[in-house]
Amino acid sequence: MARSAVSTTITPPPAARDVLELLKPITWFPPMWALMCGVVSSGVAPLSRWTFLLAGIALTGPLVCGTSQAVNDWFDRHVDAINEPNRPIPSGRIAGRWGLAIAIIWTALSLVVAALSGKWVLIATIVGLLCAWAYSAPPFRLKTSGWVGPAVVALTYEGLSWFTGAAVMAGALPPGKVIAVLALYSFGAHGIMTLNDFKAVEGDRATGLRSLPVVLGERPAAILASAVMAAPQAAVVALMLSWGHVISGAAVCVLLLAQLCLMPRLVSAPAKNAPWYNATGVSLYVLGMLAAALGLGGYI
């Protein structure tokens, strides 16, 4: 009797450039910026904790944020095959189960670095990683809700990173003023996350993802996102002025007014203009975060 041959195909590891593309370096900026806002808002000299700064920047950007991107692309590979087929996983440049393997390896690496960086950093990293997996992976897949999904990302990208920077620098729970401001900016970031959904409306609708542009329609979702971004900043202005941080409050006010001038163009054609607003209005938003942090830290 002839012996049957069994062929085993081993998927080769992906190229480094494709792994880097999967981790999306452009997305690392928001949590790293929020971390630095937390550092500044603490009022503690940044160079006094330079080792934490290095670990914090690595964790919030390449590691935890990078993990979230790998997890998202793996569990969204069927959606990306419709919306963005040239991405590393649907294009086959990261083949087999390498996408999932990279997500798991980056999760473990993040935990190791966090454990070496102290209790607060480890706690924040665990929370961030849990949110990253719950956002994209079943059974939770929080991103299927246009309300919950953006809220989770906004909380982790902005609030958690800011809180960690302030808490570690001060060695204690941040004061109420800092928590109030970071909470407001986290709330406003929900609108920023909604902007990212305009590029995937077709795939979201086809695969049952209930993003706000799908559920509400593009123009109503853009109006809501604009309001969600603007209202918390107005509250920050009022708080900063009431606390005597006049320069900081005035700076946030000017940056908010500039955003209000840009929002009508966003609302007029959300899918077309969302990338433009991300480059303009969102940049003004994060500059306001820094202005508020400088006021809270006593720099201005």
Q: What is the CATH number of the domain that holds 119?
A: 1.10.600
Residue 131 resides in a domain:
yes
For the chain, 300 residues long, give each residue's pLDDT as a single digit of tens. 444 444 446 788 999 999 999 999 999 999 999 999 999 999 999 888 888 889 999 999 999 999 999 999 999 998 888 888 999 999 999 999 999 999 999 999 999 999 998 888 899 999 999 999 999 999 999 988 999 999 999 999 999 999 999 988 988 889 999 999 999 999 999 999 999 889 878 777 877 778 999 999 999 999 999 999 999 999 999 999 999 999 999 999 999 999 999 999 999 999 999 999 999 999 999 999 999 999 999 999
Residue 269 resides in a domain:
yes
Q: In 3D, which of 188, 153, 165, 168 has the Cα closest to residue 284? A: 188
- Number of separate domains in the chain: 1
- Domain extent at residue 20: 16-296
Structure token digits, residue 44: 């503690």
Residue 10 resides in a domain:
no
Note the Cα 186 to chain centre separation in Å: 10
Residue 35 resides in a domain:
yes
CB 19 within 8 A of CB 87: no
Kindly compute the dihedral angle of the four CA atoms of residues 54, 60, 65, 68, in this order, to the nearest 10 degrees: 120
Residue 181 resides in a domain:
yes
Residue 34 resides in a domain:
yes
Q: In 3D, which of 113, 110, 164 has the Cα closest to residue 132? A: 110
CA–CA separation, 172 vs 120, rounded Å?
Answer: 9
Please tell me the predicted confidence (pLDDT) of residue 9: 62
Q: In 3D, which of 26, 14, 35 has the Cα closest to residue 105? A: 14
Token pair 């550092």 in the structure block, residue: 39
Residue 1 resides in a domain:
no
Residue 2 resides in a domain:
no
Q: In 3D, which of 278, 232, 293, 284 has the Cα closest to residue 255? A: 284
Structure token digits, residue 297: 């830290």
CA–CA separation, 153 vs 27, rounded Å?
Answer: 12
Please tell me the predicted confidence (pLDDT) of residue 168: 87
CA–CA separation, 122 vs 120, rounded Å?
Answer: 5
Please tell me the predicted confidence (pLDDT) of residue 5: 44
Please tell me the predicted confidence (pLDDT) of residue 3: 47
Residue 71 half-sphere exposure, CB side, CA atoms within 13 Å? 25
